[in-house]
Structure 1
């Protein structure tokens, strides 16, 4: 068995920590930065199962399906998904199932609702919004809706004529 012993002074310990910090800082400075913005090509690749961490990614998702929205959300709030669905939630989940999403695994959970103002809607309707319900950077529900008395709700994957 070989034993190696050394004396370490306070000066040597501080110098070692500073040297290690300089190496870590240098590696971090030279590492490539992640892109914060999403290009038009990348927007086409964003699907409903893509992780949505940034506002740019959420806007790119909507634009990838042909929706023109304001760059910043009109509102962002935390919501509680009910543990049991009434008829309204059953109908809403049917819309989600039609576009490949499902709210049932998230019953009783919290999520963040992002609401974006559409700048134009194919029928010319005013006050139409896009809603993205996100939990842990995953899209769990999405819709296009008009809150008027004779309003509508439909998925984001289909563009009305």
Structure 2
């Protein structure tokens, strides 16, 4: 059996504890503020899909995963804050997100960008794709016709 012992003076012990505490705080901040966001999500009907939307090319690829073609020239963007506490409406909306492999509850209280893209279709019906984006990755979104009473659909075109 091998045993080792060592002496540490008080200054070294305090320095070690402070350094360790700072390291833990940095790791917690990275996770709490979504710095380590996944680059893919998985959904049963589609499998694994990319969440990257840092530029037009990646955004086009994101929508093509779902068979969608969007109009970039008429895209509307605005800053939003995902609520700290979800009411019943937001819980229902988050269930829609979960149906496509996403979960907004991991981003409560965070700033995000909402991007609304008109979808280019063969018929005259207007459809919109709404993305909720944090650090160039999709964290939520839906499809709809823009009508107040119209149901929101996931990216696959299904209701939650």
**Which category describes the TM-score, using the shorter chain as reference length?**
0.5 to 0.7
Runs of 4+ more than 4 Å apart:
none
Deviation per residue, 1:66-124 (Å, 9 max, x gap): 11211335201110111101111111100100110000011111001111001117xx5
Q: 1:51·1:138 contact (CA, 8 Å) conserved in 2?
A: yes
Count of residues in correspondence between the two structures: 114
* Unaligned runs of at least 5 residues, structure 2: 1-47
Q: Distance in 1 between matches of 2:59 and 2:102?
A: 16
SS at match of 2:49: coil
Q: 1:77·1:113 contact (CA, 8 Å) conserved in 2?
A: yes
* Unaligned runs of at least 5 residues, structure 1: 1-45
Whose Rg is larger? 1
Deviation per residue, 1:104-158 (Å, 9 max, x gap): 011111001111001117xx57231001111011210021012214312011034
Q: 2:52·2:62 contact (CA, 8 Å) conserved in 1?
A: no
Q: 2:52·2:59 contact (CA, 8 Å) conserved in 1?
A: no
Summarize the Cα distance change of 1:56–1:72 in structure 2 as closer, same or farther, 3 Å threshold. farther
TM superposition shift of 1:159: 6.3
Aligned to 1:99: 100
Q: CA RMSD in A?
A: 2.5
Normalised by the length of structure 1, the TM-score is 0.62
